[in-house]
Amino acid sequence: MWQSVEERLAKLPPDLQPLAAAVRQHRSRGVSIQPDGAVQVGAMPWVGPDAFAFVLYPPAKPAWLMAFNLRTGLAIPEYYGTMLTALNGCFAFGLALYGLPPSLQEGAPHLDDRALQPLDLDAANRHWAREYRGAEGEFHVGGRTWTPTESIGYFVAPTGQWRSRRTEGEVLREWASLRDLLTEELPAVEEWDRERRARKVWPWETRHGNA
């Protein structure tokens, strides 16, 4: 099973190699491949029986990217579009890169809660981005847990810079590339997960203000 995962990791573009390296570090904790091709690595039984540190989604079809542009009037940044055709979004500890949920792309669109799917890039840019003051004109591509009570968003500026933002408008960090973002942020979210385990702070408690 791992051999097929390794083959997929090796084919990821250079900007995603920090993610590939992080996935390899956790292979000994368990690997699962879903029927649709979604890969789960690094079992987290202390969170739940089906929880994994990493979820990697199969590549998006090029036609989905074109349909997104027509449907929303927004152009997916070229470098992010290249990523989506290799990896249609992911989860890594508390970090998410958004993608195009397959069940929303073809036939009668519907969100299939039974399938593992990425968080929706369409909803992110039509709705969620509005929560971030000062992010107008930027493309919302993901986010991560920052504290037990706050998450931050990842955006791509028209200049090509990658930014992490708080909803109040503060820009926390800027990077020249997705590779730079992942190189810095992946260790941070893994450390946050270790601290959460030590404090026994879990997502269902945080949502109810019990952190």
Strand pairing class (95-97; 171-175): unpaired
Classify each residue of 167-179 as buried b or exposed e, where b means 16 or more C-beta atoms within 10 Å of its C-beta: beeebeeebeebb
Q: What is the mean pLDDT of each run of 10 residues along the chain (211 residues)?
A: 89 96 95 93 88 96 94 93 96 96 75 76 96 96 92 96 97 97 96 81 43 34
pLDDT, position 208: 38
**Structural domains in the chain, sorted by start:** 2-101+118-201 (3.40.1580.10)
**Would you tell me how many other CB atoms lie within 10 Å of the CB of residue 185?**
23
Query: Is 96 in a helix, a strand, or coil?
Result: strand
pTM for this predicted structure: 0.89
pLDDT, position 107: 61
CA distances from 38 to 30, 121, 138, 195, 207 (A): 14, 18, 29, 28, 27
Q: Report CA dihedral (132, 148, 41, 106) to the nearest 10 degrees.
A: -30
Alpha-carbon distance of 34 to 117, in angstroms, equals 11
